[in-house]
Amino acid sequence: MKVSEAMHRGANWIAPDALLSDIAERMRKEDVGALPVGENDRLVGMVTDRDIVLRGFDGQSDLLQLTARDVMSEPIIYCHANEELEDAVIIMESKRIRRLPVIDDNHRMVGMLSLGDVAARASTSVLAQTLRAVTAHHT
Query: Can you give the residue ranges of every domain in the chain?
Result: 3-138
CB 6 within 8 A of CB 120: yes
Whether residue 37 is predicted with pLDDT greater than 80 in this model: the reply is yes
Question: 3-138 architecture in CATH?
Answer: Roll (3.10)
At residue 138 the predicted structure's pLDDT band, cuts being 50, 70 and 90, is low
- DSSP string computed for 7-66: SEE----B-TT-BHHHHHHHHHHHT-SEEEEEETTEEEEEEEHHHIIIIITSSSS-GGG-
| Percent of all residues in the chain with a pLDDT value above 90, rounded to a whole number | 47
Would the pTM count as exceeding 0.75? yes
| 8-state DSSP, 112 | E
